[in-house]
Amino acid sequence: MDFEKGEVLLFDKPLKWTSFDLVRKVRGLIRIKKVGHAGTLDPLATGLMIICTGKMTKQIDTFQAQIKEYTGTFKLGATTPCYDMEQPEDATFPTEHISEQMIREMVNQFTGVISQLPPPHSAVKIDGKRAYELARKGKEVKMKSREVTIEAFEITGINMPEVSFRIVCSKGTYIRSIAHDFGKVLGSGAYLTSLCRTRIGEFRLENAMQLADFSALVSTQSTKSE
């Protein structure tokens, strides 16, 4: 591999790592500065991340613009301030009125071009500061709605209060917001309990490396070049 000339590396991001944690680790292993990722994953999400090195960092915007596929679960009957499990539940709601048929029918409201509000605890910038920085300080965060495209939304399992799903969506879609809004339309609440990115364009998670495998690969390459 020629990291200076440019490589496109596929990784399975570990749980609780930030996207920058992974970039920083890769940068340290290959010992060059020009390393970047093509699309953030929240710390509590796992799955596919594209890391570009050297001259291939010029392709980051192209990769970021491609459609994404996710699988995961959300819990009905409660909400959290961040719309996922990073913070404890702040409210509970009834779920007795929710049937499996209702859940499957509501998917149609979240397919196609939809308007959504990013979570208050997100990396969206407000007056030059990240929204999550303001939210964590207890300041009111007013998010602006944005249009995103949901190409596919499939309910893959229901085991109340947990619902499993698969979503194919455009750049900029917040799956946490879909979970939150899904709870609302059901007359209840919901938040994301797990998330895995399985595809970015034609790049797939099954072709991604674990960090330990990449570390061994770099070590072997360094030994051969000495």
> Of 42, 84, 90, 181, which one is the catalytic site residue?
42
Burial 85-96 (b: 16+ CB within 10 A, else e): ebeeeeeebebe
The residues near 73 (Cβ < 8 Å, ≥ 6 apart) are 162, 163, 164, 165, 192, 193, 194
* d(C-alpha 171, C-alpha 66), whole Å: 7
Catalytic status, residue 12: no
3-class DSSP assignment, residue 28: helix
Nearest to 114 by CA among 85, 149, 143: 149
How far CA 173 is from CA of 66, 113, 159, in Å, comes to 12, 11, 25
Q: Which two tokens stand for residue 218?
A: 């770099």
Q: Burial-class residue 141 by CB neighbours within 10 Å (0-12, 13-18, 19+).
A: buried
Residues identified as active-site = 42
